[in-house]
Structure 1
Amino acid sequence: MRLQCVALFIAIAAIAPSAFSARPTALTIPLQGCVWHSGDNPEWSAPSLDESGWQHYALHQQVSQSHLWIRCHADLSPIVDFDEPALQVRLYAAYEVYVDGRLIGTFGNLQSGSFGMSLIQQWPLPRDLPHTSSIAIRSAWHFTSAIPFAPYPSLELRAGSEPSLRDRRSTVIVAEGERHLIPAICFCIVGILGLIVLGLWINEPGRRELLVLGINCVALPPIYLNYLGAAALLAYPASAYFIVWAVPAFLTNICRTVFFFQLAHRRVPFLIWALIALATAIHLITFAVAVLPPSPALWLDGLRSGPLGAISQFASVLESSAPFFAFMPWRRLSRRMRPLAALCMVWGVTMMLFFSVRFTSARVPGLPDLQSQWSNTVSDFEAIATLGVLVALLTLLSREQQQVARERAILAGELQAAQQVQQLLAPSTLDTLPGFRLAVAFHPVSEVGGDFYNCSILHGERQRIIIGDVSGKGAAAAMTAAVILGAAQRHEEESPAALLHHLNLVLANMHVSGFATCLCAEISSRCEVILANAGHLAPYCNGHELSILNGFPLGIVPEAEYAETTLQLSPGDSLTFFSDGVVEARNQAGELFGFDRAAAISTQTTESIASTIQAFGQEDDVTIVTLAL
Structure 2
Amino acid sequence: MKLGHSAADLFGPWRFHVGDEPAWAQPGFDDSHWETVDLHSPDDPPDPELGSSGFVAGWTSHGHPNYSGYAWYRLRVHVEGTDGKLAIKMPDQFDDAYQVFVDGQQIGEFGHFGQRRVWAFPSQPRGYPLPATVQNGTVTIAIRMWMNSATRFSGPDAGGLHGPPMLGSAQTINDRVALDWDGLNHDVGSGFLEMLVLLLALTVASAHFALDRSDKAYLLLALVSLVTLVGNLILQLGNYSTLFSSTFVLLARDVVLTPVRIGLWVLFFAKWFQVAHSRRLAGIVFALVGILAVGTLMLRPPLHGQFVPVAVGTYLDPALVWIKLALAGTLFWVAYQGIRKHQQEGWFALPAILLAVVANYQHELRLARIHVQYAVFGYKISLGQLSTMLSLLLVTLMASRRFLLAQRQRLQYQLEVQQASELQQVIIPREVPRLPGLSVESEYRPSRDVGGDFFQIIPNSREGSALIVVGDVTGKGLSAGMLGALIVGAIDTAASQEQNPADILKSVNERLCGRGLATATCLVVRIDADRTLTASNAGHLPPYINTAELGMEGALPLGTLPDMSYDTVTCQLADGDVVTMLTDGVIEAQNEHGDLFGFERVEQMVSENATANEIANAVQRFGQEDDILILRVQCT
Q: 1:221 to 1:295 in 2, by over 3 A?
A: closer
Q: Which residue of 1 aligns with 2:468?
A: 465
Q: Which residue of 2 aligns with 1:424?
A: 426
Q: 1:215 to 1:147 in 2, by over 3 A?
A: farther
Take 1:93 and 1:329, find their aligned partners in 2: how far apart are those partners?
Answer: 44
Aligned partner (choices 103, 128, 131) of residue 123 of structure 1? 128
Q: Which residue of 2 aligns with 1:88?
A: 89
Q: 1:434 to 1:359 in 2, by over 3 A?
A: same
Q: Which residue of 1 aligns with 2:218?
A: 210
2:536 pairs with 1:532: yes
Q: 1:526 to 1:144 in 2, by over 3 A?
A: same
Q: Which moved more, 1:549-558 or 1:254-263?
A: 549-558
Aligned residue runs from structure 1 range 513-592, under 5 A: 513-523=517-527, 527-556=531-560, 559-584=563-588
Alignment check: 8 A CA contact 2:510 2:559 kept? yes
Q: Which residue of 1 aligns with 2:77?
A: 76
Alignment check: 8 A CA contact 2:75 2:140 kept? yes
Aligned residue runs from structure 1 range 369-388, under 5 A: 369-371=367-369, 373-376=370-373, 380-388=382-390
2:300 pairs with 1:318: no
What SS does structure 1 have at the residue aligned with 2:524?
Answer: strand
Q: Which residue of 1 aligns with 2:343?
A: 338
Q: Which residue of 1 aligns with 2:273?
A: 264
Q: Which residue of 2 aligns with 1:154?
A: 160
Q: Which residue of 1 aligns with 2:41?
A: none
Q: 1:391 to 1:25 in 2, by over 3 A?
A: closer
Q: Which moved more, 1:52-61 or 1:77-86?
A: 52-61
Aligned residue runs from structure 1 range 437-456, under 5 A: 437-455=439-457
2:407 pairs with 1:409: no
Take 1:411 and 1:328, find their aligned partners in 2: how far apart are those partners?
Answer: 32
Alignment check: 8 A CA contact 2:258 2:360 kept? no
Q: Which moved more, 1:317-326 or 1:553-562?
A: 553-562
Q: 1:220 to 1:628 in 2, by over 3 A?
A: same
Q: Which residue of 1 aligns with 2:43?
A: none
Identical-residue share of aligned pairs (%): 23
2:630 pairs with 1:624: yes
Take 1:502 and 1:529, find their aligned partners in 2: how far apart are those partners?
Answer: 20
Q: 1:276 to 1:165 in 2, by over 3 A?
A: farther
2:256 pairs with 1:254: no
Alignment check: 8 A CA contact 1:496 1:522 kept? yes
Q: Which residue of 2 aligns with 1:165?
A: 173
- Partner AA of 1:473 in structure 2: K
2:113 pairs with 1:110: yes
Aligned residue runs from structure 1 range 281-320, under 5 A: 299=306, 309-320=317-328
Alignment check: 8 A CA contact 2:262 2:360 kept? no
Q: Which residue of 2 aligns with 1:59?
A: 59
Cα deviation, residue 468, structure 1: 0.6
Deviations 1:76-119 (A, max 9, x none): 32257252311233554555533223232244433474454453
- Partner AA of 1:546 in structure 2: L
Q: Which residue of 2 aligns with 1:238?
A: 245
What SS does structure 1 have at the residue aligned with 2:113?
Answer: coil
Alignment check: 8 A CA contact 1:446 1:474 kept? yes
Cα deviation, residue 134, structure 1: 4.1
Q: 1:445 to 1:274 in 2, by over 3 A?
A: same
Q: Which residue of 1 aligns with 2:44?
A: none
Cα deviation, residue 478, structure 1: 1.2
What SS does structure 1 have at the residue aligned with 2:160?
Answer: coil
Cα deviation, residue 263, structure 1: 0.8
Take 1:549 and 1:296, find their aligned partners in 2: how far apart are those partners?
Answer: 82
Q: Which residue of 2 aligns with 1:34?
A: 16
Alignment check: 8 A CA contact 2:16 2:34 kept? no
Cα deviation, residue 318, structure 1: 2.0
Q: 1:299 to 1:338 in 2, by over 3 A?
A: farther
- Partner AA of 1:475 in structure 2: L
Q: Structure 1: 5+ residue runs without aligned partners?
A: 1-18, 362-368
Q: 1:64 to 1:574 in 2, by over 3 A?
A: farther
Deviations 1:285-326 (A, max 9, x none): 889999xxx855864798797655544433222212334432
Cα deviation, residue 453, structure 1: 1.3
Q: 1:201 to 1:594 in 2, by over 3 A?
A: same
Q: Which moved more, 1:140-149 or 1:459-468?
A: 140-149
Determine which structure has greater relative contact order: mean sequence separation of CA pairs < 8 Å that are 6+ residues apart, divided by chain length: 2
Aligned partner (choices 399, 409, 422) of residue 401 of structure 2? 399
Take 1:21 and 1:121, find their aligned partners in 2: how far apart are those partners?
Answer: 20
Give TM-score scaled by structure 2 length.
0.75
Take 1:458 and 1:608, find their aligned partners in 2: how far apart are those partners?
Answer: 30
Take 1:72 and 1:478, find their aligned partners in 2: how far apart are those partners?
Answer: 87
- Partner AA of 2:7 in structure 1: T
- Partner AA of 1:370 in structure 2: A
Cα deviation, residue 261, structure 1: 0.6
Deviations 1:147-203 (A, max 9, x none): 966766623544222344345545655666666566764564354244333333333
Q: Which moved more, 1:589-598 or 1:249-258?
A: 589-598
Q: Structure 2: 5+ residue runs without aligned partners?
A: 38-57, 376-380
Alignment check: 8 A CA contact 1:192 1:218 kept? no
- Partner AA of 2:263 in structure 1: I
Question: In angstroms, what is the RMSD of aligned CA positions?
Answer: 4.7
Take 1:96 and 1:187, find their aligned partners in 2: how far apart are those partners?
Answer: 34
Alignment check: 8 A CA contact 2:295 2:320 kept? no
- Partner AA of 2:16 in structure 1: C
Alignment check: 8 A CA contact 1:141 1:298 kept? no
Give TM-score scaled by structure 1 length.
0.76
Q: 1:282 to 1:51 in 2, by over 3 A?
A: farther
Take 2:15 and 2:620, find their aligned partners in 1: how far apart are those partners?
Answer: 86
Q: 1:489 to 1:149 in 2, by over 3 A?
A: farther
Cα deviation, residue 37, structure 1: 3.7
Q: Which residue of 2 aligns with 1:3?
A: none
Deviations 1:440-475 (A, max 9, x none): 332333321221013455436655432011223322
- Partner AA of 1:338 in structure 2: Q
Q: 1:309 to 1:280 in 2, by over 3 A?
A: farther
- Partner AA of 2:371 in structure 1: W
- Partner AA of 2:278 in structure 1: V
Q: 1:596 to 1:229 in 2, by over 3 A?
A: closer
Q: 1:269 to 1:376 in 2, by over 3 A?
A: farther
What SS does structure 2 have at the residue aligned with 1:320?
Answer: helix
Aligned partner (choices 482, 490, 493) of residue 479 of structure 1? 482
What SS does structure 2 have at the residue aligned with 1:34?
Answer: strand
Of Structure 1 and Structure 2, which has the larger fraction of its residues in helix?
A: 1
What SS does structure 2 have at the residue aligned with 1:342?
Answer: helix
Alignment check: 8 A CA contact 1:181 1:228 kept? no
Alignment check: 8 A CA contact 1:441 1:607 kept? yes
Q: Which moved more, 1:89-98 or 1:262-271?
A: 89-98
Take 1:348 and 1:483, find their aligned partners in 2: how far apart are those partners?
Answer: 51
What SS does structure 1 have at the residue aligned with 2:447?
Answer: coil
What SS does structure 1 have at the residue aligned with 2:518?
Answer: coil
Cα deviation, residue 208, structure 1: 1.6
Alignment check: 8 A CA contact 1:538 1:546 kept? yes
Q: 1:457 to 1:417 in 2, by over 3 A?
A: same
Cα deviation, residue 487, structure 1: 4.3
Cα deviation, residue 416, structure 1: 0.7
Take 2:146 and 2:383, find their aligned partners in 1: how far apart are those partners?
Answer: 37
Take 1:256 and 1:74, find their aligned partners in 2: how far apart are those partners?
Answer: 50
